[in-house]
A and B are shown apart, each in its own frame.
Chain A
Amino acid sequence: MSLDARFSLQHGKFSLGITLQVATGETIALLGPNGAGKSTTLRTLAGLHHIDHGHIRVNDKIFDDGGAATALPPEQRNIGMVFQDHLLFPHLSARDNIAFGLRNRGRTQKLARAVADEWLQRVGLTHRGDAQPAELSGGEAQRIALARALAAAPKMLLIDEPLSAVDASARLNLRRLLREQLRAFSGASLIVTHDLDDALALADRLAVLENGRVVQCGTVEELSQRPASRYVADLIGLNCFRGVCDGHTLTVESGASIYVGTPHQGAVIATLHPRAVALFRERPSGSPRNVWLAPVAGTERSIDSTRVQLGGDLPVIAEVTESAVRDLDLDAGGEVWAAIKATEFRVAPT
């Protein structure tokens, strides 16, 4: 286990109790509503906050065990951190920002700049080495920040909302770069995001934080099948399909195919919220691209809605109102028409 963390801390009125394990080479996405403690968790792992109880170990080295004297200060942890608003040093060029960590570890300026040039190439900004941070676009700045975090060969990578301050056009490219770099990175990685698409595209497993606690940690399938909270259920959407995409056509393992709104190529994972599945007695007319007749496998009631499990080649869960259950006579079983708009699927490459 590369990162083994089980700790609690009180930060003002906010209390954090975190259990996280990340394997070598694995990326975990920390998801959760605003104020859940995602950034505080990253800052604590980086050593910018001390823990009150528990431990943080990376590669069996103790970073913090709750004792003020034994806690390793951030500069001795050898981690790479990418901050939400990149925090590039405004008085240094892009190249010298990347070289900063190596200079701190005693490399000569010449060597540090040579390594920085290699990283400029890796993040596709060879021509921007002399630029001042103020001259960089949001996407460029975030690339430099990623290069800066990785250049000193850290043991663990912590990334805070890397895509939130980047405009939509630069977002996909930056996400692709992050994917490449996370794949190439050999240590444990944690990435904070509030965007499920980013989490699915970048992470191997998801950890969901609510009110300073990890309510669930697992693969997207695990979270989808057994959501531990209402927030997880709404976030992931309860329906999750792995398959291979060829343009708009996603073929799942059972052989059924789905028409999805955004084209992809290769292995993907798609999620769908139960509310996006509409049920009809008769075959619906109109625009939905995905319409099929499905057997009703069961119904499950909660306070404000009913979930209907559909069987067949494409098993999905639909969420409908009680009146719809009566109108469609779903409790009796039988078959209903299911319809899903192509744009309701969230698709991410795996």
Chain B
Amino acid sequence: MNHQRTPLPRWLSAVGAMSALLFVAPLIGLVIEAPWPELAGLIAAPETRDAIWLSLRCSMTSAALCLLFGLPLATWLAHGDGPLRDAVRIVTTLPMVLPPIVGGIALLLAFGQQGVVGAPLGDWFGVQIPFTSGAVVIATTYVAMPFFVLTVEGGLRSFDHRYADAATTLGATPWRAFLTVTLPMIAPSLRAGLLIAWARSLGEFGATITFAGSFQGTTRTLPLAVYHALESQPSAAIALSMILLLVSAIVLFLLRRQWSPTR
């Protein structure tokens, strides 16, 4: 169908173009200032490769953990109403609102050597979490999971449960109905949730540097490497920013059908 749309008011297009400029201008700045000749050398540098590799590994692990733990949580939240669910939803949404550095401090207090979780872990198993790659994953998951949970809960709440009813009348157990009907039917919100959670993990800075520190190869992810470079070698910081930009743009392009509204 090819029907004529009502034209937009001119002022609306003008304001729209201006807000687009807000996003385009920094990009242009970055591209102009990037030390292009040195870029290849900077990417090849071991610190950079460590940071890229660590960032990809940690952000993907964190996205996977969001799916593994966030999906049951979202399903439970979507399954009813009441004060208990409201309270749990507020607690889970908190990391979206809190400054990440506050989240990092809270994580440090909980998982640190004296913390409620950290102390027994250290005493019984000799496990130290802070300032390890594991801490990076915990910090990024802590910050990213709310985005996944809220997106998937929204998808589940708009899912027509009569489809699951139909599946059970056809002999599917509730678990099988969930796997073979509910999940495929909410796949768009699952994919969107995963993408947002992954993107949030990739860019995570405040909670990571507070809880995991900045050690090359174990906890210095790309955003941390940018911050580190900015102090000593600003051109390297620009180059690393370019890399983050490229990685993000490539992923957004590859998954463009998953996150854009249906056309």
Interface, chain A (partner B; CB < 8 A): 43, 46-48, 73-75, 77-81, 83, 87, 89-91, 100-101, 104-105, 148-149, 152
Q: Would A104 and B176 count as touching, CB distance under 8 A?
A: yes
- With beta carbons under 8 angstroms apart, the residue of A47, A81, A105 that contacts B166 is A81
| Chain A residues within 8 Å of B263, by CB | none
Stretch from B6-14, B117-125, B137-145, B167-175 that touches the partner = B167-175
Given known A75-B173, A152-B171, contact A91–B184 (CB-CB < 8 A): yes
Q: How far is the CA of A79 from the CA of B167 in the complex (A)?
A: 12
* Chain A residues whose C-beta falls within 8 Å of the C-beta of B163 in the assembled complex: 87, 89
Identity of the chain B residue whose Cβ is nearest the Cβ of A148 in the assembled complex: B170
Find chain B residues with CB under 8 A from A83 CB: 162, 166
User: Shortest Cβ distance from B155 into chain A, in angstroms?
Assistant: 14
Q: Name B177's closest neighbour in chain A (CB-CB).
A: A75
Residues from chain B with Cβ under 8 Å of A78 in the complex = 171
The residues of A that contact B185 with a CB separation of less than 8 Å are 89-91
Provide the main secondary structure of the chain B interface: helix
Give the residues in chain B near A74, CB-CB below 8 Å: 165, 168-169
Beyond A81-B166, A83-B166, A100-B167, whether A75 also contacts B172 by CB under 8 A is yes
Name B residues whose Cβ lies closer than 8 Å to a Cβ of A: 160, 162-163, 165-174, 176, 180-181, 184-185, 187
* CB–CB B165/A101 < 8 A: no
- Roughly how many angstroms separate A148 CA and B171 CA in the complex, as a whole number? 12
List 5 contacting pairs A-B, 8 Å CB cutoff, sorted by A. A87-B160, A89-B166, A100-B172, A148-B170, A152-B171
Tell me, in angstroms, the Cα distance from A291 to B13 when the chains sit together.
Answer: 73
**Which residues of the partner chain A approach B181 to less than 8 Å between Cβ atoms?**
89
Per a CB cutoff under 8 Å, which of A43, A47, A73, A100 touches B170? A100
Known: A87-B166, A104-B176; 7 extra A-B contacts, CB below 8 A, are A79-B169, A81-B166, A89-B167, A89-B184, A100-B167, A104-B171, A104-B173
What are the residues of chain A within 8 A of B174 when measuring CB–CB? 73, 75
Complexed CA–CA distance, A74 and B247 (Å):
48
A105 to B167, CA, bound (A): 12
> Complex Cα distance A128/B176, Å?
26
CA distance A34 to B163 in the complex (A): 23
Complex CA gap A161/B96 in Å reads 47
Known contacts A89-B163, A89-B181, A89-B185; A73/B171 CB under 8 A: no
Bound-state Cα–Cα, A80 to B169, Å: 7
For A47, the chain B residues whose CB sits under 8 A away are: 168-169
Check B184 against A73 for contact (C-beta < 8 Å).
no
Q: Which of B160, B162, B172, B187 contacts A104 (CB 8 A)?
A: B172
Tell me the complex Cα distance, A100–B168, Å: 11
**Are A101's CB and B171's CB within 8 A?**
yes
Shortest A224–chain B CB gap in Å is 34
8 nearest CB pairs, A to B: A104-B171, A101-B170, A74-B168, A81-B169, A91-B184, A87-B166, A104-B172, A75-B168
- Complex formed: what's the CA distance from A91 to B183 in Å? 10
Question: Which single residue of chain B is at the shortest CB-CB distance from A151?
Answer: B170
Bound together, the chains give a CA A148 to CA B184 distance in angstroms of 19
A73 contacts B167, C-beta separation under 8 Å: no
Nearest B residue to A103 via CB reads B180
A46–B184 CB distance below 8 A: no
Chain B: minimal CB distance from A236 (Å): 31
**Contact A46 B171, CB 8 Å, known A87-B162, A89-B185, A104-B176:** no
| Nearest B residue to A87, CB-CB | B166
A75 with B166, Cβ < 8 A, contacts A89-B181, A91-B184 known:
no
Q: Check if A75 sits within 8 Å of B184, measured CB to CB.
A: no
| Closest beta carbon of chain B to A165's beta carbon, Å | 14
* Assembled-state Cα–Cα distance A195/B155 (Å): 36
CB closest chain-A residue, reference B171? A104
| Bound Cα distance from A81 to B184, whole angstroms | 22
B198 to A: closest C-beta gap in Å: 24
Cα–Cα, bound, A75→B167 (Å): 8
Docked Cα-Cα span, A100 to B184, in Å, equals 14
- Taking the closest CB of chain B, its distance from the CB of A241, in whole angstroms, is 39
- Rounded to whole Å, the gap between the CB of A115 and the closest CB of chain B is 13
The smallest C-beta distance from B186 to any residue of chain A, in angstroms, reads 10
A259 to B95, CA, bound (A): 78
State whether A73 and B168 are in contact (beta carbons under 8 Å apart), knowing that A87-B163, A89-B185, A90-B185 are contacts in the complex.
Answer: yes
Bound CA–CA A158/B199 (angstroms): 48
Distance from A333 Cβ to chain B, minimum over Cβ atoms (Å): 58
B162 partner residues in chain A, CB cutoff 8 A: 83, 87
A105–B173 alpha-carbon span in the complex (Å): 10
In the complex, what distance in Å separates the CA atom of A90 from the CA atom of B180? 12
In the bound complex, residues from chain B placing their C-beta under 8 Å from that of A81 are: 166, 169
Q: How far is the CA of A66 from the CA of B154 in the complex (A)?
A: 35
Q: Considering the chains assembled together, what is the distance between the CA atoms of A91 and B180 in angstroms? A: 10
CB closest chain-A residue, reference B170: A101
Residues of B close to A152: CB separation below 8 A: 170-171
